[in-house]
Amino acid sequence: MTKITLLCTDPNHPIYAFLTQWKVENDIKYEITLLNRVNEVAVGGDILFLVSCSEIIKVATKSLFSHVLVLHASDLPDGRGWSPHIWDVLAGKQSITLSLLEAEEPVDSGDIWKKHVIPLNGRELFNEINELLFKAELNLIEWACLNYNSCCPTQQLSLNSAAYLRKRTPSDSELNMNDSLESQFNLLRVCDPSRFPAFFYKDGQKYTIRIEKDEK
């Protein structure tokens, strides 16, 4: 039986519930371990998947597995770094590209196993974008489990020229009261309503904004 380890270092990340459910649904097909810390990886296997993993994976840990793969939401080599799909939505792009690649140094530079394009209609909110992205990630995980013995990875081009996106902070969720709602709609779409909600200040008072669709 194929031995799979899923490593997600933030159990509060929205994808964690999806990983937990995937493990339950596939425990009969694969031997699956879901972990939150690199130092919890004690036994190796066929594939180690790094999903929203913020810790550095050392060579000793990598050597325990036949393959160490990363899921990264950009059309690599473009969009290396932090939260690439958020930056894409903010830029008004009509799709998200998800890349499955080998974990290598420098970060996000490994050979590409497979890419998947997720179309957007421009009206999806945070949770809907996440659902599209996370389902695509699980599909790529499943694909890798079925094809890891026959996959022929593709080397990335322009390894030294790709820029790295900065990590977003809670301050990036601030709205400008002087700008139009239309001009800030994409920002409202990508603000995590639970962890990093949109906000603004008026007369020294901070106000938080969460939006949802009215289906009526």
Residues 129 and 87: their CA atoms lie apart, in Å, by 13
- Quote the pLDDT of residue 54: 83
**What's the one-letter identity of residue 180?**
S
Residues 28 and 91: their CA atoms lie apart, in Å, by 42
- Quote the pLDDT of residue 46: 97
- Quote the pLDDT of residue 97: 97
pLDDT band at 216 (very low <50, low <70, confident <90, very high): low
**Which tops the pLDDT comparison, 159 or 38?**
38
- Quote the pLDDT of residue 195: 86
Domain ranges within the chain, ordered by starting residue? 3-163, 169-209
What crossing angle do the helices spanning 126-147 and 15-26 adopt, rounded to 10°? 40
Task: Write out pLDDT tens, residues 170-198.
Answer: 999 999 999 999 999 999 999 999 889 99
**Which tops the pLDDT comparison, 106 or 128?**
128
Task: Write out pLDDT tens, residues 53-101.
Answer: 888 888 999 999 999 999 999 999 999 999 999 999 999 999 999 999 9
- Quote the pLDDT of residue 56: 82
Nearest alpha-carbon partner for 166 in 97, 108, 84, 95: 84
- Quote the pLDDT of residue 127: 94
Residues 29 and 145: their CA atoms lie apart, in Å, by 10
Q: Are 47 and 65 in contact (CB under 8 A)?
A: yes
Question: Mean of the pLDDT values across residues 126-132?
Answer: 95
- Quote the pLDDT of residue 12: 86
Task: Write out pLDDT tens, residues 6-50.
Answer: 999 988 888 999 999 999 999 999 999 999 998 899 888 999 999
Residues 147 and 6: their CA atoms lie apart, in Å, by 17
Superfamily of domain 3-163: Formyl transferase, N-terminal domain (3.40.50.170)
